[in-house]
Amino acid sequence: MKTFVYSTHTYEKIYLEEAQNNLVKLTLSSKSLNMATVNLCKGYTAISIFTTDLVTAPILEQLHENGVRFIALRSVGYDHVSLEKASELNIKVANVPHYSPNAIAEHAVLLILSLVRKLKIGQQLMGQNDFRLDQLIGFDLKGKTIGIIGTGLIGSTFAAILHGFGCKILAYDIQENQKLKEETGISYTSLENICEKSDVISIHCPLNNATQHLFNAHLFEQMKNNVIIINTARGGIINTKDLLDALKTGKIGAAGLDVYEHEKAIFFEKRQDSKLTDQLFETLRKQPNVLITCHQAFLTKEALQEIAKTTINNLVEWSENSNSNNEVTF
Ligand code: NAD
């Protein structure tokens, strides 16, 4: 299957090249998918895209006209694709439903520990040859209450790690994970109760209509003072403006964000020559108690190998019988 790969990053090239085989031939391009580049895939039956490629209805119509019938996502999330339109046009879409949930779960733990132990402030002081410790008092995680929103693959891996730290774990999900309950003794409860009791709240649910801006001023108000918020899921789950306000009033003690609501216009590109116009992002990243990583939670060797392998497998399945086990539907 001839596949045009949009938004190929240097870091993933070697893994994609290694994974391709005689059934799937990839053409790698660093160009992102948009109206100006959509015709690059003319003559290809399949394309592969990244989370920054917005696949809207007009793009899908053009893809269809170009002969594209399959879209292999190199991500878990598929909120960037209009699945309704894809299904209407009979274009199949498959994701990589799992690839090292540890990569993301461990990154969430990294954000928590860095914030709890004031790593950002400490590094800034060190840069000024100030080696005093007075601003760097942290707290033990053992015995603290961690609230987890979404206990799927990543959330449950995260829960198991925090269980090992000796934390008390509260979880909120629309579907309870019985196995996780038995293995880690976590308690499922309401979102409100999580807000009331948790010292740290970590988000691991998908972005959809129900979770868009789920974290807003109203929810922050219900949280413990000084709570730490971690988001490695999707930026749009948090109303960033409300978060900034809550950080400024001290309601929220710190935030660790691997994703940002308007990240598509910022992340994944070198932008040192162009001034960022997103004032919200600029203000947020200047806060001493906010640690932002640029959507890198997934970026481990193991995860990249797995993403490449599953992407190729999805394309192989389509080339053999037009069905893939990882199809996502509307
Ligand atoms: P998953 O599908 O295994 O788990 C998601 C969980 O969220 C499920 O248990 C589901 O029932 C729950 N959920 C759905 N709607 C909910 C709601 N309204 N309220 C509460 N819970 C809800 O997915 P996963 O592999 O654990 O990934 C979770 C998210 O992490 C993905 O959707 C993706 O957006 C994000 N992600 C981020 C990165 C990164 O690099 N930062 C990498 C991979 C995935």
Nearest CA to ligand 1 atom 19: 173
CB 205, CB 211: distance < 8 Å: yes
- H runs (alpha helix) in the chain: 10-19, 57-65, 83-88, 101-116, 119-127, 153-164, 178-184, 191-197, 217-221, 240-249, 279-286, 301-321
How many Cα atoms are found within 13 Å in the side-chain-facing hemisphere of 125?
13
If one residue of 74, 104, 157, 304 were mutated to test the ligand 1 pocket, choosing by the most ligand atoms within 8 A of its CB, it would be 104
Q: Of the candidates 26, 78, 69, which has an alpha carbon nearest to the alpha carbon of residue 50?
A: 78
How many Cα atoms are found within 13 Å in the side-chain-facing hemisphere of 94?
23
Q: Which of 234, 261, 306, 317 is catalytic?
A: 234
CB 173, CB 214: distance < 8 Å: no
**pLDDT tens string for the chain (330 positions)?**
999 999 999 999 999 999 999 999 999 999 999 999 999 999 999 999 999 999 999 999 999 999 999 999 999 889 999 999 999 999 999 999 999 999 999 999 999 999 999 999 999 999 999 999 999 999 999 999 999 999 999 999 999 999 999 999 999 999 999 999 999 999 999 999 999 999 999 999 999 999 999 999 999 999 999 999 999 999 999 999 999 999 999 999 999 999 999 999 999 988 876 678 999 999 999 999 999 999 999 999 999 999 999 999 999 999 998 899 999 998
Give the integer Cα–Cα distance in Å for 46 and 191.
Answer: 41
* pTM (predicted TM-score): 0.92
25 φ, ψ to 5°? -115, 120
Q: Return the ∠ at Cα 93 (arms to 83 and 48), rounded to 5°.
A: 120
If one residue of 151, 154, 191 were mutated to test the ligand 1 pocket, choosing by the most ligand atoms within 8 A of its CB, it would be 154
The CB of 150 under 6 Å from ligand 1? The reply is: yes
Give the integer Cα–Cα distance in Å for 197 and 220.
Answer: 12
CB 129, CB 305: distance < 8 Å: no
Going from the C-alpha of 78 to that of each of 93, 237, 250, 330, the distances in angstroms are 9, 14, 34, 10
Q: Is 234 designated active site? A: yes
The CB of 277 under 6 Å from ligand 1? The reply is: no
Give the integer Cα–Cα distance in Å for 30 and 46.
Answer: 16
